[in-house]
């Protein structure tokens, strides 16, 4: 059994609420909060929510207080308030502690239980993503994509289709090894973005990393953690710690939400083993940037970069993605206006709060449509963001597609002739 730190349930909650202590209610966070900008309600701002969370901690508000539940549920959890806070408030940890207390005392909503239950068992999410792949492959998703709840859901599935059809292959000659990396496959990424996993493997190998597969891994638990189901999150996290411990120099992740959760395993589980796996976790852009990365062949494209919240705000990884894109000759890459602002996906938020989720997304889609020139592609490193933005673009009638940054580097490496198309 792994050596332990203090009881994770108690210590995580205490640390979460204590992370709110530096708040002096200055209001610097208000312009960075998408839900406050959408509603104009102070209780939908970080400052207002911190007051509610402190009242919950002190017992001044019950866990089933309607106002408390409404305003904390409406938070995207994007953590865009954290980088602009001069006092260093750990808003994200405080929110998770508050939601965990509400969940423990009040229970999850029926919708949340249904969605999270699908990701708790591998066969369930594999079945669901298999159905989505059928809808994608037959063209049904693209045909139905558009406005309305069903059209938007179909647009999300259609957005998982690769923007280019590329062959397989592997690097002709592997450079001197920079170390061994274990690929975290996850659930949504594994079920709907297998092409991104393959691009991740190839581009890392071109840059000197040996990529290994790890059996026994599963969903990271981020969706559960964000919803307040920390018991569910811990159960999934413990399985991943067991699978990845001692297997590689690094654990590589190409999903921002998964990466943020895995890097925080030590806090979530309170074990030395969990902290070890968390300390070895890297976003794929971090490893590629550390390698240079190796320049590719030219791609004559204009792309807009939209930063996933849990990459830029939670992991504080930003420059590395731009460095990866800079390795592609002829590519014109620009950050979108408001690229640091949430797209409204936020895990299962779009299911629980579809209207507010779409209101947040509409601002981003409008900015893309107003760009001159309109980008050929929007690139972002998180599955929820890819699906949300892709569906929003389709609903708005824009022809711009979405792709993961590592896909572009993979296309560039293919143009450069780095891949041997023959099988291993």
Q: What is the CATH number of the domain that holds 48?
A: 1.10.1060.10
SS3 176: coil
Supply the pLDDT for residue 9. 54
Q: What pLDDT score does 3 carry?
A: 47
Mean pLDDT of the region 361-368: 93
pLDDT at residue number 372? 83
Q: Is the peptide bond before 388 cis (omega within 30 degrees of 0)?
A: no
Q: Do the domain assignments include residue 165?
A: no
Task: Answer for the pair 128, 117: CB distance below 8 angstroms, yes or no.
Answer: no
Check pLDDT > 60 for residue 6. Answer: no
Tell me whether residue 137 is in a domain: no
The per-residue pLDDT for range 397-419, each reduced to its tens digit, is 999 999 999 999 999 999 999 98
The secondary element (H helix, E strand) that includes residue 212 is strand 209-212
Number of domains in the chain: 2
Residue 205 above 90 pLDDT? yes
Q: Above 70 in pLDDT, residue 276?
A: yes
Please state the rounded mean pLDDT for residues 371-394. Answer: 94
From the number of C-beta atoms within 10 Å of its C-beta (0-12, 13-18, 19+), residue 14 rates as: middle
- Is residue 8 predicted with pLDDT exceeding 70? no
| Assigned domain for 276 exists | no
DSSP 219: -
Indicate whether 19 belongs to any domain: yes
* Final residue before a domain boundary, out of 106, 128, 159: 106
Domain assignment of residue 42, yes or no: yes
Determine, yes or no, domain membership for 37.
Answer: yes
Residue ending a domain, among 89, 106, 123, is 106
CATH of the domain at 373: 3.40.50
Query: Is pLDDT of 169 > 70?
Result: no
The Cα–Cα gap between 341 and 320 comes to 18
User: Which of 72, 106, 140 is the endpoint of a domain?
Assistant: 106
43 secondary structure, DSSP code: G
The pLDDT score that the predictor gives to residue 2 is 46
* pTM, rounded to two decimals: 0.91
Q: Which residue has the higher pLDDT, 164 or 364?
A: 364
Q: Do the Cβ atoms of 189 and 196 come closer than 8 Å?
A: yes
* Beta carbons within 10 angstroms of residue 422's beta carbon: 9
Domain that holds residue 19: 8-106
- Any domain includes 149: no
Instruction: Specify if 206 maps to a domain.
Output: no
| Res. 1: pLDDT tops 50 | no
């Amino acid at each position: 059994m792994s050596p332990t730190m203090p009881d994770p349930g108690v210590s995580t909650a205490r640390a979460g609420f204590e992370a709110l202590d530096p708040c002096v209610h200055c209001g610097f966070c208000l312009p960075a909060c998408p839900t406050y900008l959408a509603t104009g309600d102070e209780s939908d701002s970080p400052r207002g929510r911190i007051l509610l969370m402190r009242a919950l901690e002190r017992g001044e508000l019950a866990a089933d207080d309607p106002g408390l539940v409404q305003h904390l549920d409406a938070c995207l959890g994007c953590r865009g308030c954290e980088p602009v806070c001069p006092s260093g408030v750990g808003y994200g940890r405080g929110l998770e502690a508050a939601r965990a207390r509400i969940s423990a005392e009040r229970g999850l909503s029926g919708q949340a239980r249904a969605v999270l239950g699908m990701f708790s068992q591998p066969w369930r999410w594999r079945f669901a993503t298999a159905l989505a792949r059928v809808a994608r492959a037959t063209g049904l998703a693209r045909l139905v994509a558009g406005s309305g709840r069903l059209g938007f859901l179909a647009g999300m599935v259609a957005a998982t289709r690769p923007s280019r059809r590329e062959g397989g292959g592997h690097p002709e000659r592997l450079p001197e090894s920079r170390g061994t990396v274990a690929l975290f496959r996850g659930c949504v990424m594994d079920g709907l973005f297998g092409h991104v996993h393959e691009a991740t493997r190839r581009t890392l190998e071109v840059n000197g990393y040996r990529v290994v597969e790890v059996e026994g891994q599963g969903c990271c638990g981020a969706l559960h953690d964000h919803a307040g189901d920390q018991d569910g999150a811990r159960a999934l996290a413990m399985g991943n710690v067991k699978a990845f411990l001692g297997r590689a120099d690094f654990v590589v992740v190409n999903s921002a939400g998964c990466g943020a959760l895995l890097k925080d395993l030590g806090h979530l589980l309170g074990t030395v083993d969990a902290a070890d796996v968390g300390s070895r976790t890297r976003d794929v852009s971090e490893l590629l940037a550390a390698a240079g990365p190796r320049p590719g062949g030219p791609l004559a494209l204009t792309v807009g970069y939209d930063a996933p919240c849990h990459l830029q705000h939670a992991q504080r990884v930003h420059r590395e993605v731009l460095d990866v894109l800079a390795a592609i000759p002829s590519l014109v890459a620009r950050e979108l206006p408001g690229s640091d602002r949430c797209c409204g996906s936020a895990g299962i938020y779009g299911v629980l709060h579809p209207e507010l989720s779409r209101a947040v997304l509409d601002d981003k889609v409008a900015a893309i449509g107003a760009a001159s020139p309109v980008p050929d592609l929007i690139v972002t490193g998180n599955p929820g963001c890819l699906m949300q933005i892709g569906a929003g673009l389709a609903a708005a009638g824009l022809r711009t597609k979405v792709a993961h940054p590592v896909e572009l580097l993979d296309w560039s490496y293919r143009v450069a002739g780095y891949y041997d198309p023959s099988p291993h």
